[in-house]
Amino acid sequence: MPSSRLFTFVDSLPVQSTRRRQALLVVWAFGLFICLSAGSLVDASELRRSAIVKAVEQARPSIVNIRGQKVVASTASVGGIDSRRVNGMGTGVVMTEDGYILTNQHVVEGVAKIQVTLDDKSTYIARLVSHDPKTDLAVIKIDAGDKRLPVIRIGTSDDLMPGESVIAVGNAYGYEHTVTRGIISALHRTVQVSDTQNYHDLIQTDASINPGNSGGPLLNIDGDMIGINVAVRVGAQGIGFAIPVDRAMEVAADLLSVKRIQRRWHGVVVRPAADGKGVVVERVEAGSPAEQAGIEAGDVLASLGAERLRHAVDLERLLLDKQTGEEVELTMSRGGQAVAINFVLTSLPKESNTVTDKTWELLGMRLSPLASGEFRQQQGRYRGGLLVDEVRRGSPAARQGIQAGDILVGMHVWETVSLENVAYILGRDDFADFEPVKFYILRDNRTLFGHLPVAVAGTRGSSATSANR
């Protein structure tokens, strides 16, 4: 045997070759050690690729960095308006292979040119698709041509446990794809981060969340997204918050819905299937295209055309590509049996404009969107406004001096660029806390302000007054 020969060779050396004999023994022993320990060295290398490393490797390609400039207004030292440009940064997650990205609204709000950088360093300019001020979520879209983007793996937030390990990834302080880890500190937190924003039912974590992390994912140890990082507690160390992913995906589906964006109708309300295969129909709206096609509550929608469905977002995103009146092929399961049906998207039935009705009833004025080009010709210091078309005699708006032709540019601390902004303000749970609501209007290139009582009777406050804003 080789070992016998080695020993024989060493033992047969002349006595006077003691040093050489010792040297060869050392070499032999070292070689034997390497052979015996080779397996343990491989194991030690594998230990470095921990669950955290694997989770980050899986999620990282679907996490994007967002940058852009926005104009903010501040009061000048001697009257007037002092506008300045500031650099904004944040994070987003790729929801679909064709470039829909979920982030925070405050990351992209007011940004004229939204720059998105992927993990492979390629850069695109995104457009804002839709946003929700109440939850501070927004959907943006990039056009990457034929490139199919890696999509974040979506987990669930209904089984989270305090003490569970989590990972945050984002553009912290501009350092791209920064990874931090921690645990879930608590669930169902309500946090007020500013005068204008309250968050409800948040995940609290001690994973470091810094400026620039907003809109990025909070991952579990499996690499699934369980939340959207949204806030850090000012003045506190190791306290950050995230929107639970179940709520975030529900909002994302609404932001991408054909009903919201294109005023078209399919008529199904769905949720993800427990096994991750398809979406379960929770409800079918009466008279909808889905009802006419025979879809029922409890059906599991598996695919639309050749595309699989996993979340409500998938359904809405795929329907955005379809035209009104176009037949849509849908594969579903009912009672364990596969069923293929066709249904046709229709235009949404006309209904009263609840925002317009509410502003007329509560405030006494009718508002309509103002074309951005037309607005910029009149005023350059605001992003947009709403034209006052009509003021009801004796209403709160009339008593405060608002006139038809004025442009409403703000209420309380919020801008009023769209009717959705007004709906958000009037629909806030804490609206009574700042009633009578302060308003800002443009008239003859001057900014005026006043206070609007919500109740028609018992008005208070003064007429519109010139102001710097």
Residues that are catalytic:
106, 136, 214
- Are 214 and 251 within 8 A, CB to CB? no
Cβ neighbours, 10 Å, residue 42: 10
Instruction: Please name the amino acid found at residue 282.
Output: E
Measured distance CA(387)–CA(442) in Å, rounded: 10
Burial label, 153 (beta-carbon count in 10 A; 0-12, 13-18, 19+): middle
Measured distance CA(439)–CA(452) in Å, rounded: 7
Measured distance CA(203)–CA(160) in Å, rounded: 9
Burial label, 28 (beta-carbon count in 10 A; 0-12, 13-18, 19+): middle
Measured at the CA of 277, the angle between CA 145 and CA 166, to 5 degrees, comes to 80
**Across the chain, how many H-helices and E-strands are there?**
12, 27
Measured distance CA(361)–CA(380) in Å, rounded: 31
Measured distance CA(112)–CA(126) in Å, rounded: 10
Token pair, residue 331, equals 């594969």
Measured distance CA(314)–CA(308) in Å, rounded: 8
Q: Which residue has the tokens 């360093």?
A: 121
Instruction: Give 352's DSSP letter.
Output: -
User: How far from chain centre, in Å, is Cα 432?
Assistant: 28
Instruction: Give 154's DSSP letter.
Output: B
Token pair, residue 278, equals 């398809």
Measured distance CA(217)–CA(213) in Å, rounded: 8
Cβ neighbours, 10 Å, residue 402: 25
Token pair, residue 453, equals 């009582």
Instruction: Give 422's DSSP letter.
Output: H
Name the phi and psi angles at 380, rounded to 5. -105, -5
Measured distance CA(120)–CA(118) in Å, rounded: 5
Measured distance CA(307)–CA(330) in Å, rounded: 10
Measured distance CA(146)–CA(223) in Å, rounded: 27
